[in-house]
Structure 1
């Protein structure tokens, strides 16, 4: 059942263990607990998916998933919270496409279109439509979801996304 605050989707991923939580999957579960402690309600969550690093490299496989959230936080406040959670488990942003202990991406915030002015979020996420590790978990929890800008349905986006090795766990 949709609420006025549903339609907020966050993608989660990790491929390195964290000091405090251990294996990537445990770190992802801890990130979800952190969200709930901050008053964010998880409406739906996908299965965990194992995917090769993109672009292809010798990094360990990622564990990925998507959640739908309910929150009174605005998009910029939610993004700031996601960055605080990443930092709390030891994420340090150094290079694009690097291995990481935690990656939390704001994918869609109620269909809002934002261009990232002033360091705020870019919405919808500018590369989500290329990423099966986002689209397949998103399809699992929101099969009728449509891209806010293009209007393309999730199945069409999946058909056009970059091919990669990915498995539901």
Structure 2
């Protein structure tokens, strides 16, 4: 399985809300051969690290594609740019963030070409783990072998993520 994390805390120029932006972006990924199979519940989450930024809207999608991990990441970055994402300051507010979380359980440390897999901070983020558990309650971290329930239990208690109303 391939999992994609999506998040935003600013409206985009084309859409009225972060959630609408993210849903449209995932639909646009289909033009690159990336098919959405399922989506978690949507979550509101406090910024990490804690700041006075607006809260984020997050979800996880299970996707399918024939693209290799590096090509998939390139496609995600193209869509982010199309939707107004400007990379600059780390942890800055953003109109869109598309993260490749897990690509069929492959582990890569970044020494080879392409993305680090699984995403290097996914096990530290409530806004990733809670929606991921919605889609894959039996998921285990490909590198550590830890269950998703154990990873959630080990999260910093200061992280806040809660399901949104429909």
**Band of TM-score, shorter chain:** over 0.9
**SS at structure 2 position matched to 1:162:** coil
Q: What are the within-5 Å matches in structure 2 for residues 46-85 of structure 1? A: 46-85=40-79
**SS at structure 2 position matched to 1:28:** helix
Distance 1:102 1:118 in 2: 27
Q: How far 1:84 moved relative to its partner? A: 0.5
Q: How far 1:38 moved relative to its partner? A: 2.4
Q: What are the within-5 Å matches in structure 2 for residues 107-126 of structure 1? A: 107-117=101-111, 120-126=114-120
Distance 1:22 1:118 in 2: 39
Question: In the alignment, is the contact (CA less than 8 A) between 2:124 and 2:155 conserved in 1?
Answer: yes
Q: Which ranges in structure 2 are unaligned for 5 or more consecutive residues?
A: none
Query: CA, structure 1 residues 17+119, in 2 after alignment: closer, same or farther (shift >3 Å)?
Result: farther
Aligned partner of 1:3 in structure 2 is none
TM (norm. structure 2) is: 0.95
Aligned partner of 1:31 in structure 2 is 25
Deviations, residues 81-131 of structure 1 (Å, cap 9, x unaligned): 000111001000011111000001101001111122466201011111000
Specify which of 67, 85, 98 is matched with residue 91 of structure 1.
85
Q: How far 1:37 moved relative to its partner? A: 2.9
**SS at structure 2 position matched to 1:67:** strand
TM (norm. structure 1) is: 0.93
Distance 1:166 1:152 in 2: 21
Distance 1:45 1:134 in 2: 12
Q: How far 1:9 moved relative to its partner? A: 0.5
Q: Which ranges in structure 1 are unaligned for 5 or more consecutive residues?
A: 1-6
Question: In the alignment, is the contact (CA less than 8 A) between 2:126 and 2:160 conserved in 1?
Answer: no
Distance 2:155 2:84 in 1: 30
RMSD: 1.1
